[in-house]
Structure 1
Amino acid sequence: MQLAWLEDFVELARTRNFSRAAENRFVTSPAFGRRIRALEEWVGAPLAERKQPVSLTPAGMLFLDAATHSLDVLHAARAQLQNPAPHAEETLRIATGRTLAKTFFPDWCESINRRFGPFLVSLSTGGAQEGIMRLSSGDVDLLLSYGSPSTRLLIDPNLYESILLDHETLLPVSAPNAKGRPQFRISPTGDTPIPWLAYSPTLTLRSVLSQHLASLTHKLPLHMVCQADSYEAILEMAKRGAGLTWLPQRLVQDELKLGHLAVAGDAGMRVSFDISLYRSRRNSNARVDAIWQGLSSATKQVRK
């Protein structure tokens, strides 16, 4: 059986005409007919009714799915082999969260490309624990993550080193009311229950916010109405007026400018945290090391 026979049969099924299919396949009609018969002999069953327009037999309908799938797989494999993935030394593999991938990574990646590139970046997104596991197994070179008590607990400083890249702030936000003021607002002494859109335990900033809320002298009367493992999902719920929540400033800054959200608490309700980069101390990638040393030097100069 030849691959061309499968391509002939798929074209015949598409055109429902032997002459047109032969023309599209750049062969004569007699030669095309012989190739279809050869395929039928290989399959062991007739695949097409010889009439106008051509119709497929039940066996032909079944075999069409198999032929189409086989061609897709083979062509994809061929394309992949003809265009092999770049060597690991040529690619900067980074893991990060979905929100950082949207709010922080593009500008940061552009800046390191200008300074150390150009080079290929392979970005994978997921939860913090997933990113740490990928870093630990060597699947990625760098982990870009929010700094939190849970992250610091999971990343052993004896095995991994880190660079503080920037700071971020969790802002208490709520949909505005008709007057443009927050629909739900935090009062330092209030006791009226506030509907709260909370983080799932899997989100990195859950521990950051929990630590802040626990440190307040007055316990806030938060009533959890929704818990989600996506900052973007919480953002959409907040915009719809479902409750009050805390979200990264970079994520909500446009919504605040457009008036879709309003800040719902004073400065004491804001929570600062870090955006950090991590790598394994065993990483021997020369490009990663050059970038790391450059970023480390820049960080030290800023601190001075």
Structure 2
Amino acid sequence: MYNATYINETHPMLIRLQLMQYRHHLELTWLEDCLALKETLNFSKASASRYVTQPAFSRRIQSLEEWVGTPLFERSKRGVTLTKAGEVFTDQLPELIHSLYTLKSDTLEAAGNKQPSLVFSATHALSFSFVPHLLKQSDKIAKFGSFRLLSDSLNACEKMMRQGDSQFLLCHHHPHMHLSLNKNNFMSIRLGFDTLIPFSKPDSE
């Protein structure tokens, strides 16, 4: 017979053990999380923009702070603010993230794995329904030469845009819909409209 001790996943001891295992390495995802929290100063909004649960997002921010060695954000009942260390750290983050993705691209090119320079990303629905029609109707796209179309979820497509792996994103949008792409860094145009019509079974409650 064996004795076993079970710890709830939110237990402080388990969280600390998880943070300790990340102390000696850094994930690029954490840096992007940090920028999202800087922009919103709200854990709920930032986690939603990163498509992760708030507890998971909070643990990733804590892991980053553990790696840096000092708090980057001040948590209080009034909200979240950057510490002085956080201001210095986040001020250089955009350039650092861009440099890392550029380095990745340059490395692949040096290895002979360079992909077509023009990449479109699109959500699954639009890649099958809208993109083929767009390509047939637009002669301007053909002038770019060879290009790739990557079909994925909206979250994945947004990530490709932030990483510089895609130059154009085709997706649905609504004024009440939150996108994780900063309007200061990305511009958008409307290409068409879709109408959402609700249906239900007859006499259904």
Structure ID, larger Rg: 1
- TM superposition score normalised by structure 1: 0.28
- TM superposition score normalised by structure 2: 0.40
| Higher strand proportion (structure 1 or 2) | 1
